[in-house]
Amino acid sequence: MADGSSQDALAWPVKTREMESNHFNSTIWNDFEFRDDDIVISTYAKAGTTWVQQIVSQLLFNGEEGLPVADMSPWMDLRVPPKEVTLAAVAAQTHRRFMKTHLPVDALVYSPQAKYIYIGRDGRDVLWSLYNHHSTANDLWYEALNDSPGLVGPPMPRPEKEIVGYYHEWLDRDGYPFWSFWDNVRSWWEIRDLPNLYMLHFGKLKADMPGEIRRMAAFLDIPIDETKWDAILEHCSFDYMKQNATPSVPLGGIFWEGGAKTFINQGENGRWRDRLSDEESAKYERLAVEKLGEDCARWLATGQMP
């Protein structure tokens, strides 16, 4: 990270709006007290958030098994439970904190002292995972989002379309029924050169997990105990996480049919290739360039930085 004088000269992001919905209460960040070593993991959603939370926990706790990662690393801007509960729980933590957010940068209080990891993934892969997340949600999930006090905006609807129709509606209505994919990705891409932000790509993590974990560790200033390296890699593997999903998934997966193993679904890219026609796939590619620009669209598709 740059020294203090260099940091002072940087144009740090400033919060310009709130996002409140059946999922979000962005006002929590207005009351959050940062520590200098905080870690914030950010994605649109379904881009490897739980995986990276597991990786960070393994780095911080030196390959320890059975960590309650979902409790240790809360989704800060989720409106359930109320923000007062989340803020008190995080303030009481004594370990190096690592939290997650699904907000775009302009709805977030961004700290120059914290470290941020943003995870990008091709939007078609995001959508395929998002559909599984939504279509397997049970009544408890809808009750938590729609019946808890303080709902702002419309309730969360149940999916009415099969996956290809869901894909088109998500594109046509800019992230419906969740939130804008383009706003989220673009906001983080625009600050990619900040010294306390690590731009991680899901595909590159899958292709070279050991290398990416080492790069993340260096970015986070976490020394790796080589005697624990094999354990860290094992505990971060998809097979291990699938078989030991309950501690990593919110409330142990009670919101999804099939439980935690449904939440951690397949972790694969390209499942859309067998379902989308060339024209349907190209629709996403055109929109990605239009909404994000060629460099960012290429990064989402390939992981390659300009």
What is the homologous superfamily of the domain 13-123+138-156+182-265 according to CATH? P-loop containing nucleotide triphosphate hydrolases (3.40.50.300)
Tell me the pLDDT band of 269, cut-offs 50, 70 and 90: confident
Indicate the pTM of the whole model.
Answer: 0.93
Reduce the DSSP state of residue 259 to 3 states and report it: coil
Find, among 293, 272, 226, the residue nearest to 122 by Cα.
272
Q: pLDDT tens across 35-77, in order?
A: 999 999 999 999 999 999 999 999 999 999 989 999 999 999 9
The confidence score (pLDDT) of residue 281 equals: 97
- Does the pLDDT at position 290 exceed 80? yes
Alpha-carbon gap, residue 55 to 114, rounded angstroms: 18
> Mean of the pLDDT values across residues 103-128?
97
Least confident of 175-179, 262-266, 271-275: 262-266
Q: Inform me whether the pLDDT recorded for 8 exceeds 70.
A: no
**Whole-number Å distance between alpha carbons of 129 and 47:** 8
Half-sphere exposure of 256 (CA within 13 A, CB side): 22
In the prediction, which pLDDT does 255 show? 72
Supply the pLDDT for residue 190.
98
Partners of residue 117 on adjacent β-strands: 41, 198
> What is the per-residue pLDDT across 45-56, written as a single tens digit (0 to 9) for each?
999 999 999 999
Give the per-residue pLDDT at 244.
73
List of E strands, the chain:
39-42, 98-101, 115-120, 197-201
Average pLDDT over residues 111-120: 98
Q: What is the rounded distance in angstroms from the CA atom of residue 292 to the CA atom of residue 262?
A: 31
pLDDT at position 6, please? 53
pLDDT at 3: 46
Of all residues in the chain, the percent with pLDDT exceeding 90 is: 85
pLDDT, mean over the chain: 92
Using one digit for the tens of pLDDT, what is the confidence trace for 201-254?
999 999 999 999 999 999 999 999 999 999 999 999 988 887 776 665 665 567
Q: Is the pLDDT of residue 5 over 70?
A: no
Q: Between 238 and 17, where is the model more confident? A: 17
Give the residue extent of every domain in the chain: 13-123+138-156+182-265
Distance, CA of 201 to chain centre: 11
Mean pLDDT of 256-269: 58
Range 164-181 average pLDDT: 97
Provide the residue count of the chain.
306
